[in-house]
Every structure is written in structure tokens, then in C-alpha cells.
Amino acid sequence: MSMSVSQLNLFDTTVLSGELAALWSLDDDQPIPEVCIPSPHPFRIPQRDFRLNGVRGLAQGGKARAEANLAAIALLGTLEREDRNATEAEQDVLARFTGFGAGELANSLFPPTGREVRKGWESLA
């Protein structure tokens, strides 16, 4: 390879030598190849079946159960939006969901049409 006085070969004597030289083409006849840098795979919480270890730890009283149910529903919304599996701690929160049923718990939080939310439950509605 002959070089004129005004030509500097960067690929033999600089950091651009070696593997990086393959990324560029100084020849007008050859296209510059696209460089694809793979994106790292995001950490994914493994999917695990929930196994109850010990006591379920359900809240005591109607209002506390309603709060636990609403926490589980909110957490489920977060998991769906973030498209991820629940951590073990989050699975514990989800396991405390008991539902609202058709009795006092449901009627306190979801009153029939025309009625107000039960006094003291307004913050949950």
C-alpha cells in the first residue's frame, strides 16, 4: 500500500486499528455496514406459583379487609401496566385479596344507587 505525503492511515497506527477498522469503509464502492448493538435483556422477575407459608395474614374487620382488597387491586394494575410478574412480597399482598362478596363489606364500599358510602369509608371509595 503506497501512501502519499498528505495521506494518513488511521487504521494501522491508532485505536481504529483492529476490530474497529471493520466498522468503516473508506472505499467509495463499498457501503458502510450497519452496526447493531444488542440491547441488554431487562431483568425479568421469574414466574412462580404462590405457595402459602404459614398464616395467610388476613386483615381483621371489614374496613381493613376492604383496604387489603384495594391494595391488591392497585398492585395488580401496576403489574399489568409494567408487564411483569409479582415479587414474593407482592404475591403476599395479592394473596390477601378476599373479594367483596354481596354483604356488608360490598355494601359499605359500593352502596346501592342513591345511597352514600358508609360513614368512615369515604377514603376508600
SS3 for the chain, per residue?
CCCCCCCCCHHHHCCCCHHHHHHCCCCCCCCCCCCCCCCCCCCCCCCCCCCCCCCCCCCCCHHHHHHHHHHHHHHHHHHHHHCCCCCHHHHHHHHCCCCCCCCHHHHHHCCCCCCCCCCCCCCCC
User: What pLDDT, in 10s, does the model give residues 33-53?
Assistant: 677 777 666 677 778 787 777
Whole-angstrom Cα Rg for the chain: 31
pLDDT tens for 60-90 read: 888 888 899 999 999 999 999 999 999 989 9
